[in-house]
Amino acid sequence: MKIFNVFPETIFSIGPVHITDTVITTWLVMIAIITISYFATRKLSVKPSFFQEIIEAVFEAIEVTIKDILPVEPWLVIPVLGTLWILIGFSNLAGLIPGLKTPTADLNTTFAFALISFSMTHVIGIATQGLKGYLMHYKEPTWLLLPFHLIAEVTRTIALAVRLFGNMLSGDMIAIILLGIVGLLVPIPFSLLHIIIALIQAYIFGVLTLVFIAGGIRTKS
């Protein structure tokens, strides 16, 4: 009997770097996204085709969400955050395809995403108001809260990674445990629930990043 494993397994190693099956799934997801984007952006026209309509709807949803939350020019954030959103969404859903392992059910992947989010917060904070202006937001409301600001920088990044990881891993584990108990057809409703959770978690990851970025920008009032 084949034992299913939700945890990442090393396929091969290059020197000290272990390439796990989650990494390979991530590469496949990236190839899929690039292929879809390439073929969807050929033959763009003012009267959109079916595919172009879908892409435009996704793009508009991203743009509207970012514009609503961010107090500055949204085009600073839209390219990288939109890519992050789409990549996390596809990665979360990739585990539903038989034979693939959810890339985000690996703590390393989610930590990589969280590091991108962490650095984005600082880069965009500095880009919009300069180094000095950005550092000033740490002393709001008083200097006494500076240590807590610094602790929050670390803990919220870890929380971001662990949240995505825990949600995706729990979805996979529920499916596998049910598969061991009852087998046929019963795990399907839970997989449907997993689709919803996967999409919501991708949304949450992006929105929280956005809220952190907006928190680093002092609105001129």
Partner 1 sequence: MDAKTVVISVSIIAAAFAMAIGGYGPARALGKALTEALDAIARQPEASDRIMRALFVGMALIESIAIYAFVIALIILFANPLIGYILK
Q: Could you list the residues that contact partner 1 (CB under 8 A)?
A: 7, 68, 159, 162-163, 165-167, 169-170, 200-201, 203-204, 207-208, 211
Instruction: Choose between 91 and 201: whose C-beta lies nearer to partner 1.
Output: 201
**Distance between CA 161 and CA 110 in Å, rounded?**
5
Q: Minimum distance between the CB of residue 166 and partner 1, rounded to whole angstroms?
A: 3
Question: Smallest distance from the beta carbon of 204 to partner 1, in angstroms?
Answer: 4
Compute the least distance from the CB of residue 193 to partner 1, in Å. 13
7/27 with CB nearer partner 1? 7
- 3-state SS string over the chain? CCCCCCCCCEEEEECCEEEEHHHHHHHHHHHHHHHHHHHHCCCCCCCCCHHHHHHHHHHHHHHHHHHHHCCCCHHHCHHHHHHHHHHHHHHHHHCCCCCCCCHHHCHHHHHHHHHHHHHHHHHHHHHHHHHHHHHHHHHCCCHHHHHHHHHHHHHHHHHHHHHHHHHHHHHHHHHHHHHHHCCCCCHHHHHHHHHHHHHHHHHHHHHHHHHHHHHHCCCCC
For partner 1, give the closer residue by CB, 134 or 216: 216
By beta-carbon proximity to partner 1, the closer residue of 89 and 129 is 89
For the chain, the first-to-last Cα distance in angstroms comes to 65
Least gap, CB of 7 to partner 1 (angstroms): 8
For partner 1, give the closer residue by CB, 80 or 204: 204
Q: Would you say 102 or 129 has its CB closer to partner 1? A: 102
CB of 122 to partner 1, least distance (A): 21
Q: Which residues contact 111 (CB under 8 A, 6 or more apart)?
A: 161
Q: How far is the CB of 161 from partner 1 (least distance, A)?
A: 11
